Amino acid sequence: MSRRRAKTEPGAQCDGHDELDADLAALDAEGLRDVVRTLLPGLDDGSRRRALTEVARRAGRGDAVAGSSEAIAAEVEAFAAEARRAGYAEPVEVDIRLGAATEAFAARDYASAFRIYRALLVPISAADIDLGQDELVDEVLVADVDACARQFVVAMYMTSSAQRRAKAVLAAIREVEGVGLFDAPLEALDRTAVEALPDFDDFVADWRALVEMQVAEVAGRGRGRWEQAWLREAVARVEGPAGLGELARGTRRVEDLRAWCDACEDAADWAATRAAFEEAAALVEHPAHTSAAFLDGAAGAAIRLGADDVDAALERAWRRAPTLGRLRRWLGAVGSRPDLVQRAGVALASLPTAAERQRALLLLLRGEYASVARLVADAAGQGWAEPSHPGPLVFPIFVRLLAPPERSAQYARALGPMGGFDLSMDIETFMASDVHALETPDVDALLARAEVGRPADAEMRAIMLDALRTAAEKRVEGVAAGKRRRHHGQAASLVVVCAAVDDRPDAMAWCRRVEADFGRSYPALKRAFVEAARVAE
């Protein structure tokens, strides 16, 4: 249904408004209050606060801030002083006065806006004035407090002399940092100003020098995260990626190195981007996962360049910090089955001991089902959420290889999230895809390329089924012992699906035994078995 309002002829009255006006005119004061009490609870918090503020303004409570700019600023300063003494102010009263500051700012009356904002925002930021809130300040005020804080800083900029402007802006930020976010002050000034900022280039140079001193000053006190971000922003403005590179080489801070690499990437200078990422990886060898993340970026740049050593770049990243995502990218860079199987063997030879999920994938690609079966059977019943545990990868893949093709989708649903056969997505994989445009092939694609198929004989099938039984029973035991209620469904589904794909005579008896052994002591687990059986039917 269209929500577009029908056009009315010029001079015509809206019948709905006429009826509303007539109905309201017929009510006395108490009747009008009843209407308001009925309607207000149906509004969300923001709409309700805006309505109350507008009602207060129309009722004359806004008259206190009427008059000349000087009179308004003086009234707000007196109001704020009294609120500080009392330690409290009504949010609606604060909103009305912040609205006066916003109007002054829009009219380019920076001196008045500065006085009003300073009188209100500084004590609110310091928690000297309570607004009666248990939540954040911007949740009880209609005004956009962050925008007000930015306007306050711009007003300071516009009313300060060029010689002391940088120090004045820094002082203003410090005064309201409790209510405003200033992670990128230069961008905030640009975005908030209603006219060109005078002498901005000179200000940026002065700001950079001041912030550089601030970074050195606070570093010894174990602080300085914001100051470091401010310095990066200033350097990027003045010197671009080259300046950020010089800064990063000097500090070796991960954030500085990342900003340098990101600036090169934003400029789409892929040769410079690759060089920056590789240098950053060398400068930060530890921790390994940080260095490897930079090597991910170098590999992404190599792909953009169409370089002939992309394989080597992907391998370097994986070897620096082996994850399943990096392994999949390196394996996926080869096109033929023989090359993929050969590369899986190379990776196996240098895989860390703790990387059992990666080991399972490599063995699967090589068709070594018996070794994979031992791996999953020997794994602990707990810790399935750990990236090294082989269970979440092996179990659904074995089920698919053992089940009749027409039942695979049904068993996948019963296994829940594991049924997608690709539980290897992690933060590193998401970041690599989003930030560096690195495509990570899913496990199914690699299995298809390696032509991984159903077991060739009954003996191998029995080995795989026995491994699934062991893994499923250990998982149920681990979940029960650890009182991990939210994993009951997963554990029960492992047992039920394992029995469903097992065509041996004792399969259902085994399933009933496991359910009975643990269901007696854990009623919630018993219910999980019933639900898993229903889904798997």
Q: What is the pLDDT of residues 294-336, one digit of tens each?
A: 999 999 999 999 999 999 999 999 999 999 999 999 999 998 9
Domain boundary among 267, 291, 307: 267
Same domain for 262 and 206, yes or no, is yes
Distance in angstroms (rounded) separating the CA atoms of residues 282 and 257: 11
In the chain, how many domains are there? 3
Model confidence at 437, in pLDDT bands (50, 70, 90)? confident
Per cent of the chain over pLDDT 90 is 69
Q: Whole-angstrom Cα distance, residue 381 to residue 369?
A: 20
Q: Give every CB contact of residue 245 below 8 A, 6+ residues apart in sequence.
A: 260, 276, 279
Which tokens belong to 378? 């020997």
Range 164-171, long-range pairs (CB < 8 A, 24+ positions): 165/199, 165/203, 165/206, 166/203, 166/206, 166/207, 166/209, 166/210, 167/210, 169/203, 169/207, 170/207, 170/210, 170/211, 170/214
Last residue of a domain, one of 145, 178, 211: 178
* Peptide bond preceding 287 in cis form (omega within 30 of 0): yes
Span 230-247, mean pLDDT?
97
- Exposed, middle or buried: residue 364 (CB in 10 Å: 0-12, 13-18, 19+)? buried
Structure tokens at 180: 């405003």
Choice among 51-60, 112-121, 270-279, 406-415 with the minimum mean pLDDT: 51-60
- On whether both 61 and 123 belong to a single domain, the answer is yes
Considering the domain architecture, whether residues 276 and 249 belong to the same structural domain is answered as no
Q: How much is the average pLDDT of 148-157?
A: 98
| pLDDT of 502 higher than 50 | yes
CA separation for the pair 427, 224 (Å, rounded):
27
Q: Say which residues have a Cβ less than 8 Å from residue 487's Cβ, sequence separation at least 6.
A: 384, 479
* Higher pLDDT among residues 144 and 7, named by residue: 144
Domain boundary among the residues 120, 147, 178 is at: 178
Q: What is the pLDDT of residue 493?
A: 94
Burial class (CB in 10 A: 0-12, 13-18, 19+), 442: middle
Is-contact 92 61, C-beta < 8 A?
yes
- Is 287 in the same domain as 260? no
Whether residues 93 and 153 fall in one domain: yes
Task: Give the pLDDT of residue 36.
Answer: 63
Q: Report residue 88: phi and psi, to 5°.
A: -155, 150
CA 20 to chain CA mean position, Å: 47
Nearest-angstrom CA–CA distance, 101 and 118: 10
Residue 130 carries which DSSP code?
B
433 has pLDDT over 70? no
The helix (run of H) or strand (run of E) holding residue 32 is: helix 29-39
Q: What span, in angstroms and rounded, lies between the C-alpha atoms of 81 and 129?
A: 10
Q: Is residue 188 part of a domain?
A: no
Half-sphere exposure of 41 (CA within 13 A, CB side): 4
**pTM of the full predicted structure?**
0.80
Query: Has residue 21 been placed in a domain?
Result: no
Same domain (yes/no): 144, 89 = yes
Calpha distance 292→376 (Å, rounded): 28
Min mean pLDDT across 281-295, 319-333, 389-403, 520-534 is at: 520-534
209 neighbors 225 (Cβ within 8 angstroms):
no
Q: What is the mean pLDDT of residues 492-503?
A: 95
Query: What pLDDT shows up at residue 14?
Result: 45
Q: Is the pLDDT of residue 415 over 90?
A: no
CA angle, residues 489, 490, 495, in degrees to nearest 5: 95
- The range of the structural domain enclosing residue 56 comes to 46-178
User: Both 274 and 306 in a single domain?
Assistant: yes
Position 123 in a domain: yes
Percent of the chain at pLDDT above 70?
A: 84
Per-residue confidence (pLDDT) for residue 3, from 0 to 100: 34
Least confident stretch, 91-105, 264-278, 402-416, 417-431: 417-431
Does residue 82 form part of some domain? yes
Q: In this structure, are 273 and 260 located in the same domain?
A: no
In the predicted model, what is the mean pLDDT of residues 279-292? 94
Sign for the pseudo-dihedral over CA of 235, 236, 242, 248:
positive
* Paired tokens of 10: 């010029």
The residue ranking higher by pLDDT, 138 or 39, is: 138
d(CA 61, CA 48): 17
Same domain, 288 and 221: no
Give the rounded distance of the alpha carbon of 494 from its chain centre. 32
Q: CB of 334 within 8 A of CB of 343?
A: yes
pLDDT classification of 286: cutoffs 50, 70, 90: confident
Res 487: pLDDT: 87
Q: What is the Cα–Cα distance from 237 to 244, expressed in whole angstroms?
A: 10
Contact 144, 138 (CB under 8 A): yes
Cross-strand pairs, 130: 88
- 120 neighbors 151 (Cβ within 8 angstroms): no
Question: What is the spatial distance between Cα 152 and Cα 121, in angstroms, rounded to a whole number?
Answer: 9
Residue 490 located in a structural domain: no
- Give the pLDDT mean for 376-391: 94
Given this model, what pLDDT does residue 124 score? 95
Residue 441 located in a structural domain: no
pLDDT of 385 above 80:
yes
Least confident range from 33-47, 367-381, 519-533: namely 33-47
Per-residue confidence (pLDDT) for residue 423, from 0 to 100:
47
Mean pLDDT across the chain: 88
CA distances from 519 to 512, 514, 534 (A): 10, 8, 16
Instruction: Report the alpha-carbon distance of residue 49 to residue 18 in Å, rounded.
Output: 27
Q: How far apart are CA 92 and CA 358, in angstroms?
A: 59
159 and 108 both lie in a single domain: yes
Judge whether 217 lies within some domain: yes
Contact 348, 363 (CB under 8 A): yes
Whether residue 239 is predicted with pLDDT greater than 50 in this model: the reply is: yes
Query: Which range among 460-474, 484-498, 511-525 has the greatest average pLDDT?
Result: 460-474
The answer to whether 211 and 234 have CB atoms below 8 angstroms apart is: yes
pLDDT digits over 17-73, tens only? 567 667 767 777 677 667 666 766 766 655 555 555 555 544 444 455 567 999 999
| DSSP E strand boundaries for 74-213 | none
Q: At what angle do helices 185-192 and 200-219 cross, to 10 degrees?
A: 150
* Residues 282-308 as b or e (16 or more Cβ within 10 Å = b): ebbeeeeebbbbbbbbbbbbbbbeebe
Residues 155 and 258 in one domain: no
Domain-located, residue 484: no
8 Å CB contact between 91 and 132: yes
Q: Hey, what amino acid is at 239?
A: E
Which single residue is written with the structure tokens 């990096």? 326
Query: For 217-239, what is the mean pLDDT?
Result: 86
Same-domain check for residues 226 and 143: no
